[in-house]
Amino acid sequence: MNDQPTDLRETVRRRYAAAATAVTEGGTACCGPQPVEVDENFGSALYTRGDRDALPAEAVAASLGCGNPTAVADLNEGERVLDLGSGGGIDVLLSARRVGPTGRAYGLDMTEEMLALALANTAKAGAGNVEFLKGTIEAIPLPAATIDVVISNCVINLSTDKPAVFAEIFRVLKPGGRIGVSDVVADDTLTPEQRAERGDYVGCITGALSFTEYRRGLEAAGFTGVEITPTHPVADGMHSAIVRAVKPHAAAACCGVTACCTPTEEATDPDTTLSEAKTAAGCGCTS
């Protein structure tokens, strides 16, 4: 049995648990929590001073991302937003402010220490429209079609099963829902081995998809309108990038099938298979 994905996940968990502990323990020192950024390409420096000043110092100090997804996700009042790999809660708390009391911001993280830190930061911020969930981004513990916007900050690269991540994002989004994530993306010319030379999974470098791989992965999951825009270099041939995409509105029932010819299509009659429904109606999409 190949235990590499499990080993990598545990490496990631230990790294972020240590970061959360460092912030928590630093908060008891005379000078307050110290940032845990890797370098100037990652961390709280990528947020505006206004954003940083509006949040608990511990939430800011625990930021390890490669961008500011809340600045590009175009969040609106009343929306439900999910942050994948929410860490100390900086993006969840910023999202909660943007969606307002009629909206809701969810944070998903697999690390107990980060979840505890995020809950403490939420209490300090007095945010009442926030909920944190324990789990992995490959198996999101939320019902289908319940989220308006999915954000993430340099976390998808940490997954060893990105097709599962893209499929789960597509599942939990409402029809017409969208993603606005920051992630590290590699030049198409770099091989996986060359990417590995530039860093490791915990630094979000080795796990980076290329621009073409990222686009194809999202499109294979059913997303449309995929846009991948590099913002700044993080290593030779590696870029922090803004990734946007949309889950199409579910097609009206046609030929006895809802969401016809999309990854979520299903027969309207539960006693009929997709193939049977399409054949009976002469549907043009029979694959």
Q: State the average pLDDT over residues 229-244.
A: 90
Q: State the average pLDDT over residues 17-35.
A: 45
What pLDDT does residue 63 have?
47
Q: Residue 276: which pLDDT band, with cuts at 50, 70 and 90?
A: confident
**Among 275, 156, 135, 153, residue whose Cα is nearest residue 221:** 156
- d(C-alpha 62, C-alpha 18), whole Å: 11
Q: What is the pTM of this model?
A: 0.73
- d(C-alpha 60, C-alpha 121), whole Å: 10
Which has the higher per-residue pLDDT, 234 or 218?
218
Which has the higher per-residue pLDDT, 252 or 152?
152
- d(C-alpha 95, C-alpha 9), whole Å: 27
Q: Hey, how many other C-beta atoms are within 10 angstroms of the C-beta on 98?
A: 18
Could you tell me which residues come within 8 angstroms of residue 51 by beta carbon, excluding any fewer than 6 positions away?
68, 70, 94
What pLDDT does residue 271 have?
78
Q: Which two tokens stand for residue 62?
A: 């625990």
CA angle 237, 242, 245 (to 5 degrees): 125
User: Is the CB of residue 103 less than 8 Å from the CB of residue 79?
Assistant: yes
**Cα–Cα distance list, 238 to 59, 81, 112, 195, 196 (Å):** 27, 28, 30, 8, 11
Q: Which two tokens stand for residue 120?
A: 């403490």
What pLDDT does residue 230 have?
94
Q: Which of 110-119, 236-245, 265-274 has the lowest mean pLDDT?
A: 265-274
Q: Which of 23-27, 88-92, 265-269 has the lowest mean pLDDT?
A: 23-27
